[in-house]
Amino acid sequence: MAVDVEPRRAAASDRPKAPSSALGRLLDSDLWWSFTRSPVTVTAAVVTLAYLLAALFAPLVTPQNPFDPASLVYADAFTPPAWTEDGMARYLLGTDDQGRDILSTLVYGARISLLVGFAAVLFSAVLGISLGILSGYVGGFVETLIMRTADIQLTVPGILIALMIDGVVRVQVGGEMDEKLAIMVLVVAIGISDWPKYARVTRGATLVERNKEYVQAARVIGIHPFLIMLRHILPNVMGPVLVIATIGLALAIISEATLSFLGVGMPPTTPSLGTLIRIGNNFLFSGEWWITFFPCLALVGLALSVNLLGDWLRDALNPKLR
Amino acid sequence: MVSYVIRRLLQAALVMLVVAFVSFSLFRFAGDPVNNMVGQEATQEDRRELRERLGLNDPFPVQFGRFVVDALQGEFGISYRLQRPVEDLIAERMPATLELVLVSAVLALITGIPLGVYCGIHRDSWVSRALLTVSLIGVSLPTFVIGILLIYLFSVQMLVLPSFGRGEVVQIGWWSTGFLTFSGWQALILPSITLSLFQLTLIMRLVRSEMLEVMRTDYIKFARARGLSNRAINFGHALKNTLVPVITIVGLNIGSLIAFSIITETVFNWPGMGLLFIKAVQFADVPIMAAYLTMVAFVFVSINLLVDLLYYAIDPRLKVDRGTAAGRLS
């Protein structure tokens, strides 16, 4: 929606010969062309990439390791951002109640948020695509069972399902979770709450593909149905899945932040962006706005740029808009 | 029509049964209920006796049957943490949540629909472009971030609105309402805006795209040719025909408003069911979790059912079969 529909470029016959290298093919593709034509998308991609790189190389880009007690100066707690009167140049965005540099906690927090986001998307995509292809290819009772479950689940907001799953695990372990378990539970909870979307789309695409000649040919020469689904149908249904996965990443990041904010996500010892907002929220009234404001900003920036990328991808891959 | 209603009712009952089963499994398999109810010093004999009294030695289907019968009567046992019957706790908290959801839904509708109509009619004006951009940002803003920003602006900086609680409430029977006091309304402002913002953007975008679609149709062109006023065309003909999808989405979203009120209630410390539930999740308080799940599922299923049935009332095209049979097709 954010992308204007540009006039298509010259017909295929006028095009120079397709270059052979992978990079060359990418630069020559319609996708790349529509990408470079939308400044909003390019900005969003740059921002997303910056987040990814910062998260990946967190120890190298942060001025301080906020989780190493030795590097914390307790006397520096509640330092406001550097440009305010009481700010210190050392702490660009100020410090929190324990003297942790906000900028550093942000980078580490984004790392957790992205990790959970990607893992949750992967989890729900694998689950949803498998069930979707299975129900589209096999049909019958299997299809009814899977798709009815998906229908029912789609009527309930994902956050509620994620909360329920989180609650069940909490009951099993008796309240508190350590960080490894918390990450796993978040991934599974968010992943399960999002699979029906993937299942619906892949089932639809599979129904189209299964009647095409290449699938029938594969069936005639006696390839095992499992291999047909994996090698022949799967690659051909990945286009629409990519769009959902991108928007799903933004959703997963927001869901993770929400759960952490509600106090049922990442523990304060390994905070994600949501946990940081939860912690900072306690200091909002005493005037230390920066402790919660910058994590909010970081979260919105991340979610917005991923959303914009997803929006663009949807329009760019949508054959109706071509 | 009748067979359709019956089929939908059966479907709804089936879904509720599945949800009840999930809730029941929570009880049965998530920790030992006896351990949660007796203290450390209870003897084996005490435990065995309690186990027998609670019927935990009965076969699985019997226990499940008893759970369903109890749930139908609104009984979900006693909260582990608060040591009070769950149905009382929920009844106490329900008015707060329902009032919040009601105000948010009304707010989202009375601002979302006009904005959507405007953006649909003047699709290229800069105002509608700006609104669309803002709405995209709105979709990326998590509910709790909106709440925190509003609190910071209006409660911390300007000191004009309260940031937590319901204000003064008036008790009418078992229902406590904040609608009758000034401080009650004041306390409602920020939470309801927070909760409605996402729905507002959703409704606005939906109405806009539906309007764009309808405005292209022949009967609108014909209405223009007949020389009807813009007002009559936009609202009498165009808006009316966008209402079916809007009602679906709004109906289905009342359910998600209840779910998202968990977040809003946490941010604003609003004493509703959502806050009760999130505390239950944090402290592994199974009876409340099970009751909340069953109740919210019930609301979802009822709304789904109602929306499906409303289609018939709103969209005359769905009645065509009956209409032709009765010779009333105009």
Given a contact cutoff of 8 angstroms between Cβ atoms, the answer to whether A252 and B138 are in contact is: no
Partners of B175 in beta bridges: B172
Looking at residue A107, its amino acid is V
* A167 and B CB contact within 8 Å: yes
What are the pLDDT digits (tens) for A251-260? 999 999 999 9
* Nearest alpha-carbon partner for A274 in A289, A294, A295, A291: A295
Assess if residue A254 is contained within a domain.
yes
- For B151, which residue in chain A has the nearest alpha carbon? A284
pLDDT digits (tens, 9 = 90+) for B92-114: 888 899 899 999 999 998 999 88
Tokens for B173, please give them.
């029977």
State residue A46's pLDDT score.
Answer: 92
Which chain B residues are within 8 Å of A321, Cβ to Cβ?
Answer: none
- The predicted model gives A177-203 an average pLDDT of 88
In a domain, A35, yes or no: no
Predicted local confidence at residue A312, as pLDDT: 85
Contact A168 B300 (CB under 8 A): no
N- to C-terminal Cα separation, chain B: 21
Residues 6+ apart with CB under 8 A from A71: A64, A65
Domain membership of residue A127 (yes or no) is yes
For the entire predicted model, the pTM comes to 0.82
| pLDDT, tens digit (0-9, with 9 covering 90-100), for A63-74 | 777 777 767 776
Q: What is the mean pLDDT of residues B192-204?
A: 89
Measured between alpha carbons, how far is residue A196 from residues A58, A155, A244 in Å?
A: 34, 10, 11
A176-A178-A184-A189 Cα dihedral, nearest 10 degrees: 20
- Tokens 């909010």, residue located: A296
A147 shares contact with chain B (CB less than 8 Å): no
Report chain A residues whose CB lies below 8 A from the CB of B263: 159, 258, 261-262
Cα–Cα distance measured from residue B278 to residue A163, given in angstroms and rounded to the nearest whole number: 8
* Contact call for B262 and A262, based on CB within 8 A: yes
Which candidate from A2, A157, A170 shows the least CB-CB separation from B259? A157
Closest CA to B212 of B299, B298, B122: B122
Q: Give the span between the Cα atoms of A139 and B214, in whole angstroms.
A: 36
Q: What is the spatial distance between Cα B131 and Cα B152, in angstroms, rounded to a whole number?
A: 24
Over the stretch B155-173, which tens digit does the pLDDT of each residue have? 888 888 887 878 787 887 7
pLDDT tens across A214-266, in order? 888 988 998 888 888 888 888 888 888 888 898 899 999 999 999 999 888 88
- DSSP, residue by residue, A49-101: HHHHHHHHTHHHH-SS-TT-GGG--GGGTTPPPTTSTT--TT-TT-B-TT--B
Question: Mean pLDDT over all residues of chain B?
Answer: 81
Residues in chain A: 322
A307 touches chain B (CB under 8 A): yes
> A299-313, B225-239, B315-329: which has the highest mean pLDDT?
A299-313
What total number of domains does chain A contain?
Answer: 1
Q: Answer whether residue B328 shows pLDDT above 60.
A: no
Question: Is residue A213 one of the residues assigned to a domain?
Answer: yes
Are the C-beta atoms of residues B300 and A178 closer than 8 Å to each other?
no
Mutation target vs A (from B132, B144, B146; most A CBs, 10 A cutoff): B144
Quick one: tokens of B245?
Answer: 């999808």
The C-alpha of A160 sits at a distance from chain B's nearest C-alpha, in angstroms, of: 6
Q: Mind telling me how many Å the CA of A102 is from chain B's nearest CA?
A: 18
Residue A168 lies in a domain: yes
Amino acid found at A61: V
DSSP H or E run through B170: strand B170-172
Q: How confident is the model at residue A130 (pLDDT cuts 50, 70, 90)?
A: very high
pLDDT at A65: 76
| pLDDT confidence bin for A11, thresholds 50/70/90 | very low
ipTM given for this complex = 0.79
Residues A314 and A201: their CA atoms lie apart, in Å, by 13
Q: Which residues on A lie below 8 Å from B260 (Cβ)?
A: 157, 159
Q: Position of tokens 């806009």? A: B208
Residue carrying structure tokens 């990439």: A49
CB of A246 less than 8 A from some CB of B: no
pLDDT, average across residues A4-9: 46
Report yes or no: B145 at the A interface, CB cutoff 8 Å. yes
Q: Does a structural domain hold residue A319?
A: no
Binary contact (A299, B142; C-beta < 8 A): yes
Assess if residue A98 is contained within a domain. yes
Choose the closest CB to A304 out of B137, B163, B267: B137
- Owning domain of residue A294: 41-301
Q: For residue A132, is pLDDT > 90?
A: yes
Average pLDDT, chain A: 82
Distance from the A312 Cα atom to the nearest Cα atom in chain B, whole angstroms: 13
C-alpha–C-alpha distance, residues A107 and A301, integer Å: 13
Phi, psi angle pair for B245, to nearest 5°: -65, -35
> Looking at the predicted structure, is the pLDDT value of residue A166 above 80?
yes
Kindly state the percentage of chain A with pLDDT values over 70.
87
Closest residue by Cα to residue A155 from B17, B311, B196, B300: B300
Tell me the one-letter amino acid at B4.
Answer: Y
pLDDT above 60 (res A7) = no
- CATH number at A192 reads 1.10.3720.10
Is residue A229 in a domain? yes
All domains in chain B, ordered by first residue: 2-72 (no CATH), 91-283 (1.10.3720.10)
Task: Looking at the complex, report in whole angstroms how far the Cα of residue A14 sits from the nearest Cα belonging to chain B.
Answer: 34
Helical packing angle, A238-261 and A102-138, nearest 10°: 140
Whether residue A169 lies within 8 A of chain B, CB to CB, comes out as: no
> Is residue B166 a contact partner of residue B178, using CB atoms and an 8 Å limit?
yes
